[in-house]
């Protein structure tokens, strides 16, 4: 987005204009244009129209109105979410990459939904019965790359992401004799806020599986397996046991999987660092940041940061990160 | 919680272990109810005998710092956090001993005498 040269509004105001234009107005205009085109086709469409396709043709039907309204409704909800979520900006008034992702995703969602909905109706024009509707796999496949390319353009129009990474503070080994051995252990877990969000999400997933079990038990197995694995992983990664001794750093989630170990000879340096989960890692759990860091991100604040000999950095948020870093520095003799 | 031992030191290993865990409780780097590593885990982690760890744990249990429960391992006792006033008193006594040039051996002898 080019701004007039005389525009001297503060950065946050300019960013908010971009959020509104790219994240809300453009997605809504796209979905409204698609809705308008689809509305023009209504006289030529069967009633009801096919709205869901199985492996052997259409297997779900609904009114034209709901096919037209759904992309509008979803885009409206997500655009509002993106605008609210990114409104505050980063701590220095810039846009965090997590905010940019939400704004670009709003564009992606509006285009992929609109193209899929319009495409599914386009193939049904002139049909008397929706049961004869041809497959739309090709349209769905085409919709995602188109939406992705436009979303990338949207991303490029947004300002560079604000870097809020704090400077790591190198840890000193614990003073003592060279023959001393140390053992550090601690438990680190998510805060109450994250716990509530996870509980709500898991409840929703459980309800969705329950509905599937009642309405379509034949196709339950795959969603049930995936759903239960996701639930188990989500619950397991809420709490981690951190152990540091002569064998290095070991992090183990509540159920024992996932887990990770870094041996002392793989450690180049140990430090403590302040971490902002949303701003730097885009959320909570076992995370990868765009700057190449990965780690266990459970809370805002202090974290242990280990730089491996191959340059990769691993972090673990914990309340006693300082002590952990000193213990690990002792073990790694760094 | 941080546990430190030095096999080269003259102090017995179980005493070093107990002192280290006791210190963690007193400086509040562990809280009541927190689970300690199992004796087997701590022993293999520090490269010491499991009975050495068990002996340290038993000593700490006798002192009321930890609770040992079959099947649940060792946890920091709820009664363990009442050393604040004592710690303040000791700080004052040690400061007083320093100003009067009283040695650590003499001070501990005085405390031992008073404790009888």
In a shared domain, residues B57 and B101: no
Same domain, B101 and B58: no
B42 interfacial to chain A (CB closer than 8 Å): yes
Please state the domain extents for chain A.
Answer: 11-157, 166-189+239-334, 191-237
Q: Under an 8 A CB cutoff, do B2 and A181 touch?
A: no
A contact test, residue of B2, B3, B38, B39 with most A CBs within 10 A: B2
A267 in Cβ contact with A334 (< 8 Å): yes
- B47 with B99, same domain: the answer is no
Cβ pair B2:A179 closer than 8 A: no
pLDDT at residue A8, rounded to an integer: 59
Q: Which residue, among A209, A202, A82, has the nearest Cα to A151 in the 3D structure?
A: A82
A5: pLDDT strictly greater than 70:
no
Distance from CA of B1 to the nearest CA of A (A): 5
CATH code, domain with B43: 1.10.10.10
Domain assignment present for residue B40? The answer is: yes
**Same domain for B74 and B58:** yes
Given pLDDT bands bounded at 50, 70 and 90, which one contains residue B100?
very high
Q: Please check whether residue B2 lies inside any domain of the structure.
A: no
Q: With bands split at pLDDT 50, 70 and 90, how would you rate the model's confidence at B74?
A: confident
Is the domain of B21 the same as that of B67? yes
B5 located within any domain: no
pLDDT of res. A334 = 59
User: Rounded to an integer, what distance in angstroms lies between the CA atom of residue B17 and that of residue B13?
Assistant: 6
For residues B69 and B88, membership in a common domain is answered with no
Q: Which of A181, A184, A248, A249 to mutate to test the interface with B (most CBs of B within 10 A)?
A: A181
Same domain, B24 and B59: yes
pLDDT single digits (tens) A249-296: 999 998 988 899 999 999 999 999 999 888 788 888 899 887 889 999
Confidence of residue A89 (pLDDT cuts 50, 70, 90): confident
Question: What residues in B contact A245, CB-CB < 8 Å?
Answer: 45-46
pLDDT in tens, A239-253: 999 999 999 999 999
pLDDT at A6: 52
**pLDDT tens digits, residue range A154-206?**
999 998 887 777 788 888 888 877 888 999 998 899 988 888 988 998 998 88
Kindly list the distances between the CA atom of residue A155 and the CA atoms of A20, A105, A218, B81, in Å, as whole numbers in the listed order.
14, 9, 41, 54
Tally of domains in chain B? 2
Residues of B in contact with A248 (CB under 8 A): none
Tell me: the pLDDT tens digits for A114-169? 999 999 999 888 888 888 888 888 888 889 999 999 999 999 999 888 777 778 88
Mean pLDDT for all residues in chain A: 88
The class level of CATH for A166-189+239-334 reads mainly beta
Say what the pLDDT of residue A2 is: 55
Contacts with B96 (C-beta within 8 Å, 6 or more apart), sequence order = none
Q: Residues A59-78: pLDDT tens digits?
A: 888 888 899 999 999 999 99
The model's confidence at residue A1, banded by pLDDT at 50, 70 and 90, is low
Within 8 A of B37 by CB-CB distance, chain A residues are: 183, 185, 243
Cβ–Cβ contact A186 with B under 8 A = yes
Number of A–B residue contacts, CB under 8 Å: 51
Contact state of B4 with A247 under an 8 Å Cβ cutoff: no
Interface test with A, best of B45, B47, B73 (most A CBs within 10 A): B45
Within chain A, strands assigned E span 49-54, 57-62, 169-170, 181-189, 239-245, 248-253, 259-262, 267-275, 285-288, 294-297, 301-308, 313-317
Residue A172's contacts (CB-CB under 8 Å, 6 or more residues apart) are: A326, A329
Residues B73 and B93 in one domain: no
Which of A178, A183, A245 would best serve as a mutation to test chain B binding (most B beta carbons within 10 A)? A183
Among A174, A183, A323, the residue with its CB nearest the CB of B46 is A183
| Integer Cα distance of A201 and A204 in angstroms | 5
Residue B84 confidence (pLDDT) above 80: no
Residue B47 sits at the chain A interface (C-beta within 8 Å): yes
Q: Which residues pair with A182 in a beta bridge?
A: B4
Q: What distances in angstroms separate CA A177 from CA A245, B7, B9, one per listed residue?
A: 16, 10, 9
Give pLDDT tens digits for B42-67: 999 999 999 999 999 999 999 888 98
| Residue B32 included in any domain | yes
Q: Is the pLDDT of residue A10 over 90?
A: no
Same domain? B71 vs B90: no
Evaluate if residue A326 carries a pLDDT over 70: yes
Alpha carbon distances (Å) from B95 to A276, B69, B91, B108: 43, 40, 6, 14
CB pair distance less than 8 Å for A184 and B2: yes
Which chain B residues are closer than 8 Å to A246 by Cβ? 45-47
Average pLDDT over residues A303-324: 93
B31 touches chain A (CB under 8 A): no
Domain ranges, residue B103? 84-115
B34 and B88 part of one domain: no
């Amino acid at each position: 987005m080019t701004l007039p040269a005389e525009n001297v509004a503060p950065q946050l105001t300019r960013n908010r204009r971009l959020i509104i234009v790219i994240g809300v107005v453009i997605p809504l205009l796209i979905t409204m244009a698609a809705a308008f085109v689809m509305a023009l086709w209504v006289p030529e469409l069967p009633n009801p129209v096919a709205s869901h396709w199985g492996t052997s043709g259409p297997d779900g039907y609904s009114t034209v109105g709901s096919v037209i309204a759904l992309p509008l409704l979803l885009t409206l909800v997500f655009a509002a979410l993106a605008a609210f979520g990114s409104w505050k900006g980063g701590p220095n008034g810039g846009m965090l990459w997590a905010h940019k992702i939400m704004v670009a995703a709003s564009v992606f969602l509006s285009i992929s939904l609109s193209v899929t909905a319009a495409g599914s109706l386009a193939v049904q024009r002139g049909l008397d019965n929706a049961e004869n509707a041809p497959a739309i796999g090709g349209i769905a496949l085409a919709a995602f790359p188109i939406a992705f390319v436009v979303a990338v353009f949207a991303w490029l129009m947004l300002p560079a992401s604000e870097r809020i990474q704090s400077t790591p503070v190198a840890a000193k080994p614990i003073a003592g004799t060279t023959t001393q051995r140390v053992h550090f252990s601690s438990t680190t877990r998510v805060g109450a806020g994250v716990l509530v969000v996870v509980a709500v999400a898991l409840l929703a997933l459980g309800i969705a599986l329950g509905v599937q079990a009642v309405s379509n038990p034949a196709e339950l197995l795959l969603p049930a397996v995936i759903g239960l694995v996701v639930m188990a992983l989500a619950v397991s990664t809420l709490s981690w046991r951190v152990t540091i001794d002569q064998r290095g750093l070991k992090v183990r989630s509540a159920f024992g999987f996932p887990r990770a170990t870094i041996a002392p000879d793989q450690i180049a340096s140990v430090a403590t660092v302040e971490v902002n989960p949303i701003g730097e890692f885009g959320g909570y759990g076992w995370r990868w940041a765009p700057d190449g860091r990965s780690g266990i991100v459970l809370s805002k604040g202090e974290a242990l940061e280990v730089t491996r000999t191959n340059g990769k950095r691993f972090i673990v948020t914990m309340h006693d990160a300082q002590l952990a870093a000193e213990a690990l520095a002792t073990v790694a003799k760094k | 919680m941080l546990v430190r031992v030095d096999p080269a030191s003259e102090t017995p290993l179980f005493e070093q272990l107990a002192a280290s865990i006791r210190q963690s409780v007193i400086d509040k780097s562990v809280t009541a109810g927190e689970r300690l590593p199992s004796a087997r885990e701590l022993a293999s982690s520090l490269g010491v005998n499991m009975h050495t760890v068990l002996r340290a744990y038993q000593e700490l249990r006798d002192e009321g710092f930890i609770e040992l429960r079959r099947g649940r391992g060792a946890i920091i006792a709820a009664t363990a956090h009442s050393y604040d006033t004592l710690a303040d008193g000791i700080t004052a006594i040690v400061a007083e001993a320093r100003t009067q040039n009283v040695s650590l051996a003499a001070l501990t002898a005085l405390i031992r005498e008073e404790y009888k």
